[in-house]
A and B are shown apart, each in its own frame.
Chain A
Amino acid sequence: MAKTFIPDSNPDPVAVPTPSLSTMHHEGPLLRNFRAMLMVWRRDIIRLFRMPTRIITGIAQPILFLFVLGAGLESAVGANGAAGVDYQQYLFPGILAMSVLTSALFSAIAIVWDREFGFLREMLVAPVRRSTLVLGKALGGGSVSVIQGLVLVVLAPIVGVSFTVASFFEMLFFLLLLAFSLTAFGIVVASRMQRMESFQMVMALVLQPMLFLSGAIFPLNALPKWLAVITRLNPATYGVDAIRRVILPQAAPLEILGSVVPLWFDALVTLGFGVAMLALAVKLFGKTE
């Protein structure tokens, strides 16, 4: 942008009365914090639609995985497929989870941008609770990543995956739960990150291991013991399992020590992880300055 001064429609300052302190309506702190939370959430949604390139880059990688990696590995694993279904079909819920995981982490890490550009200070100095800001951020990042994930649903017919109304809403529920949890986790990561440069490190040390070990890409039931243990310790595993089970009821569900994990357990672990991360995020968020 040009540095020159443009006398931009800025005539002599006009005397306009500003409202005085007395006109400020003071309401209950609960309502105020609730509205502030919605505002933080809305900001994330507005920003998503102002940056359409983000949506495109957000779906490019999952599409590459689904059609290139998917087609390639399908010919390698042969007709047996994975977990009882065709490999590309197996991969489809995986790339939904992948998209949610990536964009949840990314929107949370945008906090580091906010810090570098100072907007975080504007939020931190406001008379609202830290938990309000964290909750708004988790909802915002969660919503953004669900929107990103839903864009991929249009690809379902191409790989032969179909939805019923019920399975669509079940999927949406688990997608939301996973997105919310992972965004909360992302906020924890972001509050420990000092500069945006460390994003590469987060990608390599957090995002990719979490993705590869979640069952998004390969089935988890016939793994070597050490790998099986790690995948069961990965909190993302349960969200991925739930999403796959509601989309592909015929696929083999996740097992721990030979017994099938119930769907409610998937939900509970995902939610529990999210709540724990949220609590930790509230604790760390205040100390970011």
Chain B
Amino acid sequence: MSSPAVEVESLFKTFGDFHAVNDVSFSVAPGELFGFLGPNGAGKTTTISILCTLLQLSAGSARVAGFDVATQPNQVRSNIGLVFQEITLDDYLTGAENLKFHAVLYGCPPSQVKERTAPLLEMVGLTDRADQQVRFYSGGMKRRLEIARGLLHAPRVLFLDEPTIGLDPQTRLHIWDYVDQLRQREATTMFLTTHYMDEAERCDRIAIIDQGRIVAIDTPDALKASIGTDVVTIQTSDDAAAREQIIQVLGVTGDLTDDGLRLKVTDGEAFVPRLFDRLDTGVRNVNVRRPSLDDVFIEYTGRDIRDAEASTNDKFRSTAMARGLRKS
């Protein structure tokens, strides 16, 4: 049991001259909830697709549940469950039929399908709706059915690719209830991708992935601690002027963001009175907080995750330049 559930070494995936996955290495321990955090187009789905044998790797190696994805794809497939980013149910089949289809494809004899699917339908609260066609389900019901399906063949590693994307907050919470419950009971290794910070927060460890590379990997707390500072955000009548003045009188360089001027200081509470004392520009609003994963993301990638989303289309060079500028 001590061998890792997922083990990736110097993984590359190239499309033309674009490196979608660029020298990625990590490992996931059995029973761990591991998260990939990054904007769309960062390489999360590409990496998952390789681990699930849906895409061939360009270089490097990857093992899942002890099997090599390149040379033992069938063994890998038997040992993994998948909940895809998009809904992959057959709308014209009922919930029960969708599960049956999956069970039979994964080698469950038809006579045992009922006894295997019934408890899972119960678990996701769909027993009453099992005989209804999936096209009449709500988005949350479809997701829950997919999670039940992903677990049907008792996989050793469950991949969840953006499992709550497009769902309302209440349904997201429900789904997380199930995931937590499952982990307690089954000790299934879970591999999650997300771009929601609150979901990344729940992981045992997260890897921040940006432009095909892992830029940081640790527990959420350790990542936050690695920044080592508090974040003070102020809104003033003239943020740019305030920034210059703060550099001069307090020796702190802030970042101009949509939310205002963001300053990183060692002791936020003590800093604010000094700030008011020295600053001429009228301050409208002050916010002091411990660093969040958002800040961690900005620290390691040079961008807000929302900005990163917006710039997915020109992901090739411009963002790399922005990062270079900021670091100088």
Contact = CB atoms under 8 A, between A and B. Distances in A.
Interface string B52-90: 111100000000000000000011011010101011111
Contacts of A126: 77, 102, 105-106
A265 interface: no
B104 A35 contact: yes
Secondary structure call for the A interface = loop
A117 B123 contact: no
Secondary structure call for the B interface = helix
Contacts of A35: 104, 109-110
Interface residues of B, number: 61
A20 interface: yes
Nearest to A47: B92
A18 B104 contact: no
Contact of B93 (A18, A46, A128): A46
B171 A5 contact: yes
Interface stretch (B173-181, B200-208, B222-230, B238-246): B173-181
5 contacts: A10-B144, A16-B122, A25-B112, A36-B104, A126-B102
Contact of B138 (A1, A36, A46): A1
B137 to A, nearest CB: 9
A127 B77 contact: yes
B84 A118 contact: yes
Contacts of A25: 107-109, 112
A125 B53 contact: yes
B93 A125 contact: no
A19 B154 contact: yes
B102 to A, nearest CB: 7
Interface residues of A, number: 46
A23 B113 CA distance: 12
Contacts of A27: 107, 109
A8 interface: yes
Given A19-B116, A46-B93, A50-B133, A32 B88 contact: no
B120 A125 contact: no
B277 interface: no
Contacts of B125: 8-11, 13
A47 B87 CA distance: 18
A24 B108 contact: yes
Interface in A210-244: none
Given A19-B154, A119-B90, A46 B97 contact: yes
B326 interface: no
Contact of B87 (A11, A15, A118): A118
B282 interface: no
Contacts of A15: 181, 185
Contacts of A127: 74-75, 77-78, 105-107
> Which one of B52, B105, B109, B177 has the greatest number of beta carbons of chain A within 10 Å?
B105
B314 interface: no
A160 interface: no
Contact of B101 (A14, A16, A39, A121): A39
A43 interface: yes
Contacts of B119: 16-19
Interface string B181-194: 10001100000000
B5 interface: no
Contacts of B139: 3
Contacts of A20: 154, 186
B261 interface: no
A29 to B, nearest CB: 9
Given A8-B138, A127-B107, 13 more contacts: A4-B168, A5-B140, A18-B185, A18-B186, A19-B116, A19-B154, A21-B156, A35-B110, A36-B104, A47-B93, A117-B87, A122-B89, A289-B49
Contacts of A69: none
B157 to A, nearest CB: 12
Contacts of A39: 100-101, 104-105
B151 interface: yes
Contact of B174 (A10, A38, A51): A10
Given A13-B123, A39-B104, A122 B177 contact: no
Contacts of B88: 117-119, 121-122
Contact of B123 (A1, A8, A16, A121): A16
B92 A46 contact: yes
Contacts of A38: 104
A18 to B, nearest CB: 6
B107 A125 contact: no
B141 interface: yes
Contacts of A8: 125, 129, 138, 140-141
A11 B126 CA distance: 10
A289 B112 contact: no
Contacts of B185: 15, 17-18
A35 B174 CA distance: 35
Contacts of B101: 39, 43
A26 B102 CA distance: 15
Contacts of A123: 105
B180 to A, nearest CB: 9
A219 B168 CA distance: 62
B120 to A, nearest CB: 6
A35 B113 CA distance: 12
Contacts of A4: 168
Contacts of A128: 105
B2 interface: no
B61 to A, nearest CB: 20
Contacts of B123: 13-14, 16, 18
A2 B174 CA distance: 19
